[in-house]
Amino acid sequence: MSEPLRVGIAGLGTVGASVIRLLARQNASLIARTGRKIVVTAVSARDRALDRGFDQTGMTWFTDPVEMARTAPIDLFVELIGGDEGPARDAVEAALAKGKSVVTANKALLAKHGLALAKLAESKHVALAFEASVAGGIPIVKTLREGLAGNQIERVYGILNGTCNYILSRMELEGLSFEACLADAQRLGYAEADPTFDIGGFDTAHKLSILASLAFGTALDAEAVHVEGIQSITLADLRAAEELGYRIKLLGVAQRTDKGLEQRVHPTMVPRSSAIAQVMGVTNAVTIDADAVKELTLVGPGAGGEATASAVVADITDIAKGVRSAPFGLPVAALETAPRTPMQRHEGGYYIRLSVDDRPGAAAAIATRMAEKQISLESIMQRRQPARKGEPAQASVPVVLITHATSESAVRDALEAVVADGYITEKPQVIRIERE
């Protein structure tokens, strides 16, 4: 049997503790798979006194993860601290510089510094693995990097944030407001006290930038991702989507076009018949469109201690077997710099909801503005609610437009003109449609 793989783990929260317990529980199976023992010999966290549900015997404790990365006699450093700067970055860089392989679940760190870290790993001939950084327990990194190596990928998109999917699911199924669902998500621990990173789409954007690099062989470019969150989605939008045969999901979409690489995160209407529309609650899903396999959808838990630990342990197992893949599928020098495609050049269908002043000429003016920008309308729905007895008639009428394929710039220009005409009483709601 080969020498044991000595592992140091920095960060002993829910995921870190789950990794240690999972390694212990699967000890015999992992030895059979790798031909060697995997032994956690060093750990680092702020509070040593906490009971984390595992035996610390034989583990050297470090209060400073950077010191552990530099000095501990380990072969593999596992970073589960989080954050794109500070101890997480310093410790990972220190471990790689010392010739130690690294496993991380840190999508923010990778989105910002992934190329530099991959280059450092290459120079030291060690592994940098990050299966757990995207979609929790779903093996999407390995699928894109190795499983689909014989495919040309056209598009990768998915539900990459369980908090947003939970909120939208509850709103749709139970008719609750965004605010009520967010508060419930915070109570259940699905959302942070400051939920901006999740509901604003930034968490999804970090993950999407990693998937895009793996899918298209391009250099990571997180700043190229167009980002919108779910804060503006209302029950009226969800009801209209249902009537039209769609569901609203926060999607991350990366697609190579003849204009460059589109990377976008935004609320999206997807056909209710599609696989991704069936994914509800905190579950994640990723769909890949490729030439050989056509369409492949992976669905599973996107977060949680056990699910994320499963992905971390998968990377540890590969390293124990001596597997060392280029982190982003190709050597850093071979990754292309893809042209950025501005969101204004996106083409597709659009859902537009307007609150229209109920007076003569309003509908005709809106139709004229759409026609001026060559926007063809697939359907128009006027959603006037009957006035209750004793209440005045509505001063404005909700109108929903569904467009045929058109450009983002055309839609924005037309709506700017509609607003200037003074016929609408609220900011227009625009949701893109992602058809199968």
Provide the pLDDT for residue 394.
61
pLDDT beyond 70 at 354: yes
- Model confidence at 189, in pLDDT bands (50, 70, 90)? confident
Provide the pLDDT for residue 385.
57
Cα(221)–Cα(248) distance, rounded to whole angstroms? 26
Per DSSP, the residues of 205-253 read HHHHHHHHHHHHTB---GGG-EE--STT--HHHHHHHHHHTEEEEEEEE
pLDDT beyond 70 at 329: yes
Provide the pLDDT for residue 47.
85
Among the options 207, 294, 373, 427, which is catalytic? 207
Whether residue 397 contacts residue 386, with contact meaning beta carbons closer than 8 Å, is answered with: no
What percent of the chain is predicted at pLDDT more than 70?
Answer: 97
What is the CA 417 to chain-centroid distance, rounded? 34
| Spatial CB neighbours of 160, under 8 Å, sequence gap ≥ 6 | 134, 135, 203, 204, 207, 208, 252, 284, 286, 302
pLDDT beyond 90 at 397: no
Q: Catalytic residue at 112?
A: no
Whether residue 281 contacts residue 165, with contact meaning beta carbons closer than 8 Å, is answered with: yes
Domains of the chain: 5-133 (3.40.50.720), 145-301 (3.30.360.10), 345-433 (3.30.70.260)
- Model confidence at 382, in pLDDT bands (50, 70, 90)? confident
How many other C-beta atoms can be found within 10 angstroms of the C-beta atom of residue 385?
Answer: 8
As a whole number, mean pLDDT of residues 222-238 equals: 96
Provide the pLDDT for residue 393.
52
What percent of the chain is predicted at pLDDT more than 90?
Answer: 83
Provide the pLDDT for residue 383.
65
CA dihedral over 197, 198, 202, 204, signed as positive or negative: positive
Cα(240)–Cα(328) distance, rounded to whole angstroms? 40
- Indicate yes or no: pTM above 0.75: yes
Whether residue 207 contacts residue 107, with contact meaning beta carbons closer than 8 Å, is answered with: yes
Cα(319)–Cα(101) distance, rounded to whole angstroms? 8
